[in-house]
Structure 1
Amino acid sequence: MTLPLGSVVEFDRHTRVVDGGRALLGGFPTRLLKLTPRARRLLVGRRLPVRDAASALLADRLLDTGMAHPVVASLPTPADPRYTVVVPVRDRARQLDRLLGSIGTDAPVIVVDDASRRLAAVAAVAARHRARLVALPANVGPAGARNAGLRWVTTPYVVFADSDIVLDPDTVPTLLRHFADPRVAMAVPRITGLSTAATTWIERYENSRSSLDLGAHPASVRPGTPVSWASSACVVARVDELADGFDESMRVGEDVDLCWRLIEAGRRVRYEPTVRAAHEHRVRVGDWLLRKAVYGTGAQPLAERHPDCIAPAVFAPWSTAFAAALLAQRRWSAPVAGAVLGVVAVRIARKLDGTGHPGRLAVRLTVNGALGTLTQTSALLTRHWWPLTAVGCTVSRRVRRATAVAALADVALEYRRDQATLDPLRYGIARRLDDLSYGAGVWLSALEGRSVAALRPRVTRRGRRPVPVSGKRPAGARPAPRH
């Protein structure tokens, strides 16, 4: 039994109850889970209370498939909830003072100074807040600084917090509840903007579309899903699960690497958006563009370490044919694309036979899969492959047309989804600059690594996914900001 008695799991918003309650459809990848009569009696609406071994086993299955998530308020606090906060910092005394003020005095704090140019200012802030100061003689980067602090931790849990965030009082206590599940090794909050009164248009864009904001819905962090990575801007983790900690050879993407290593080891990483950590976004265009490019340079090192986890797009064979037909922009393109979708819908309907209205479900899933394919194709054109797209635009009217449609459709869809407080024109400009900068970083890392692994889409083998998957593009992870 994994989850303790008294805890509750709730269906993911994409999970559908079908066939009169005899089956569930959802998860990542999408699958059909048939329920026995006994299992059906365990459900209470869209929730499953854990009352005995049978309900605990079903809850564990739902968590593994991504069909449900724990209701954090139902989880107990760990028997030993002690934790230590580790803060890597280089200069930024003002931001450090603000962070330490939000942490309070209930937990020990270790400030790791990563060879600051003004060590005295950092030391004064640490002393004022009664934090232990570990001063490194040479700059080792965020991974090395966090590991240096981790070596001093004697509590069961550790909180890694970057100096440019502010913690809400209930953030860490709430995240600790997830460790009632013994398979959870790490839990992260939602990262939001620090200032609601943004001073620049870039900051307003970041407040609605930050690379660190993973959305408003809880999730199990796993590659290839809508929440495929977790930032170390704010992380709560079990100390005994971290082993050697972060990979110190990585200056970018080391947090994504650690997250994926834990998942590959069979551990769970939970994203809990009911609690937040506020992040100080960059407000100057130059700094913002540079940071986006730096994020992109983490793609190639991650591709070397996790070749099955990182790709700019993930297609099934049918979705490859569907996208190729549309990109061809011939008279036969629409009929061929429609025929592909028709075949897919029929195949899915056969797999759903006996569920009641299999045709209707198959059409809905096929449409969702088609939209996901178009979203990923758009990202390839405007984000990951934009240097090739730019060359293609100079010689091909079809490439120009496809790129224009992709760029405008992307802005229109994302603007509505993000509920941006920025006008559409400046939002669209920021969106395209975001993609261009990140894509430039990916290409730079590919050239330095002499490999196209981070640029190569992945086509899943036939049968790997029983039905198409929709949602956010499972693109190459965007590493977290540095301290």
Structure 2
Amino acid sequence: MGHPRVGVAVLTMGNRPTELAALLGSVARQDLPARRVVVVGNGTPLPGLPAGVDGVELPKNLGVSGGRNAAIAHLRAAGDVDVVVNLDDDGLLVDTNVFTKLAALYAADGRLGIVSFRIADEHGQTQRRHVPRLRAKDPMRGGEVTTFLGGGHALSMAMLEQVGDWPEAFFFTHEETDLAWRALDAGWRVVYEPSLLLQHPKSSPARHAVYYRMTARNRVWLAKRHLPALLVPAYLGVWAVLTLVRARSLGGLRAWGGGFWEGVRTSAGRRLPMRWATVARMTRLGRPPVI
């Protein structure tokens, strides 16, 4: 990809105006200017945006997947973006050369589909769950991976044209893995690049019962959509055991169980099981699709 044009997409629920303004300021300070920046109000009116920033207000909350698809549709219609960077509205680009580094990565590799940023808090600490690999002790070790971080990442628009956009029915949780598995199966590379930093406040995703329900439901959908039939029970069995071991509240476990059976009972959408060659590739990358 020669001289890729970078676009930026940000979702907001309208409850972080100060953080959003700081993020957009950090985007404006990049030494390689973004070709286009769009902020999507996910079921909320948008605050005043800086000059040159596009706004899209959705009449209702479509979740992470639906909101990002609205942003992609806006950028695709403009026709002047090759790589879309998705950033959380409470994140911050500390360095000014993020887009320059990113563009160089895509220019050097025509099969680079997804680049995952490193996420660290204001003290430079990266939570274990923010390292997209099993051996997560060293957040500074980059390389090819099998999933990526939702808070800060880049997607090739050419890849999206081939494999499709975000799975809207997922709403939130595991939508990144769904997209990554489709990309890997189509021969694209997914890379974790720790030199691309998004500063983000430390937080826990397990805040309410909806999180547990959707985590379980979407994991079942993920398996039903993408895994060879032989791997579906293994994948879901491993995650059921891990959930039981890690469970910290009976209420959360009940919500997880309800989501699991919802995933079993309901349609996950079109089933396109990955090739066994993709299973082997993921295994070589250190994360076979059974965990």
Q: TM exceeds 0.5?
A: yes
Change over 3 Å in CA distance of 1:474–1:168 after alignment to 2: farther
Residue 435 of structure 1, CA deviation: 12
Change over 3 Å in CA distance of 1:89–1:470 after alignment to 2: closer
Q: Residue 312 of structure 1 contacts residue 474 of structure 1 at CA under 8 Å; is this kept in 2?
A: no
Could you say which residue in structure 2 is the equivalent of 1:201?
Answer: none
Could you say which residue in structure 1 is the equivalent of 2:6?
Answer: 83
- Deviations for 1:253-282, whole angstroms, at most 9, x for unmatched residues? 222211111111111111112322122233
State which of 120, 142, 147 in structure 2 corresponds to 1:218: 142
Q: Partner of 1:115: helix, strand, or coil? A: coil
Whether 1:265 and 2:186 are equivalent positions in the alignment is yes
Change over 3 Å in CA distance of 1:293–1:81 after alignment to 2: same
Q: Partner of 2:86: helix, strand, or coil? A: strand
**Equivalent residue letter for 2:22:** R
CA distance in 2, matches of 1:268, 1:299: 22
Whether 1:162 and 2:84 are equivalent positions in the alignment is no
Q: Partner of 1:262: helix, strand, or coil? A: helix
Q: Residue 10 of structure 2 contacts residue 88 of structure 2 at CA under 8 Å; is this kept in 1?
A: yes
Could you say which residue in structure 1 is the equivalent of 2:272?
Answer: none
Residue 134 of structure 1, CA deviation: 0.9
Structure 1 segment 264-283 matched on structure 2, within 5 A: 264-282=185-203
Could you say which residue in structure 2 is the equivalent of 1:97?
Answer: 21
Could you say which residue in structure 1 is the equivalent of 2:151?
Answer: 233
CA distance in 2, matches of 1:288, 1:195: 25
Q: Partner of 1:145: helix, strand, or coil? A: helix
Q: Residue 299 of structure 1 contacts residue 445 of structure 1 at CA under 8 Å; is this kept in 2?
A: no
Residue 445 of structure 1, CA deviation: 2.4
Structure 1 segment 130-141 matched on structure 2, within 5 A: 130-141=52-63
Gap runs ≥5 in structure 2: 266-275
**Equivalent residue letter for 2:2:** A
Mark the structure with the bigger radius of gyration: 1
Could you say which residue in structure 2 is the equivalent of 1:149?
Answer: 71
CA distance in 1, matches of 2:42, 2:196: 29
Structure-1-length-normalised TM-score: 0.46
CA distance in 2, matches of 1:433, 1:101: 39
Gap runs ≥5 in structure 1: 1-77, 198-206, 223-228, 315-375, 387-406, 408-430, 452-460, 477-483
Change over 3 Å in CA distance of 1:148–1:182 after alignment to 2: same
Change over 3 Å in CA distance of 1:175–1:311 after alignment to 2: farther
Whether 1:178 and 2:105 are equivalent positions in the alignment is yes
Change over 3 Å in CA distance of 1:196–1:183 after alignment to 2: same
Q: Partner of 2:24: helix, strand, or coil? A: helix
Q: Residue 292 of structure 1 contacts residue 434 of structure 1 at CA under 8 Å; is this kept in 2?
A: no
Residue 133 of structure 1, CA deviation: 0.5
Q: Residue 112 of structure 1 contacts residue 133 of structure 1 at CA under 8 Å; is this kept in 2?
A: yes
Change over 3 Å in CA distance of 1:211–1:446 after alignment to 2: same
CA distance in 2, matches of 1:88, 1:209: 22
Higher helix proportion (structure 1 or 2): 1
- Deviations for 1:367-396, whole angstroms, at most 9, x for unmatched residues? xxxxxxxxx98x764x23x2xxxxxxxxxx
Residue 113 of structure 1, CA deviation: 0.9
**Equivalent residue letter for 2:91:** I
Change over 3 Å in CA distance of 1:312–1:221 after alignment to 2: farther
Change over 3 Å in CA distance of 1:158–1:182 after alignment to 2: same
Change over 3 Å in CA distance of 1:188–1:163 after alignment to 2: same
Could you say which residue in structure 2 is the equivalent of 1:448?
Answer: 262
Q: Percent same amino acid among aligned pairs?
A: 24
Structure-2-length-normalised TM-score: 0.72
Q: Residue 159 of structure 1 contacts residue 234 of structure 1 at CA under 8 Å; is this kept in 2?
A: yes
**Equivalent residue letter for 2:118:** R
Structure 1 segment 20-39 matched on structure 2, within 5 A: none
Q: Partner of 2:180: helix, strand, or coil? A: helix
Structure 1 segment 34-433 matched on structure 2, within 5 A: 79-92=2-15, 93-104=17-28, 106-107=33-34, 108-116=36-44, 119=45, 122-124=46-48, 126=49, 128=50, 130-153=52-75, 154-169=80-95, 170-179=97-106, 180-192=108-120, 194-196=121-123, 209-214=127-132, 215=136, 216=139, 217-222=141-146, 229-243=147-161, 244-252=164-172, 253-282=174-203, 287=207, 291=211, 294-308=214-228, 381=241, 383-384=242-243, 386=244, 433=248
Residue 251 of structure 1, CA deviation: 0.8
- Deviations for 1:85-125, whole angstroms, at most 9, x for unmatched residues? 01121113233122212211521210011111xx2xx321x
Q: Residue 111 of structure 1 contacts residue 132 of structure 1 at CA under 8 Å; is this kept in 2?
A: yes
CA distance in 2, matches of 1:281, 1:150: 27
Q: Partner of 1:164: helix, strand, or coil? A: coil
- Deviations for 1:114-152, whole angstroms, at most 9, x for unmatched residues? 111xx2xx321x2x3641111112222221211211122
**Equivalent residue letter for 1:433:** R
Residue 469 of structure 1, CA deviation: 8.3
Q: Partner of 2:74: helix, strand, or coil? A: coil
Q: Partner of 1:195: helix, strand, or coil? A: coil
Change over 3 Å in CA distance of 1:297–1:95 after alignment to 2: farther
Q: Partner of 1:272: helix, strand, or coil? A: strand
Residue 188 of structure 1, CA deviation: 1.2
RMSD of Structure 2 on Structure 1 (CA): 3.8
Q: More displaced, 274-283 or 256-265?
A: 274-283
**Equivalent residue letter for 1:195:** E
Q: Partner of 2:92: helix, strand, or coil? A: strand
**Equivalent residue letter for 2:94:** D
Q: Residue 144 of structure 2 contacts residue 285 of structure 2 at CA under 8 Å; is this kept in 1?
A: no
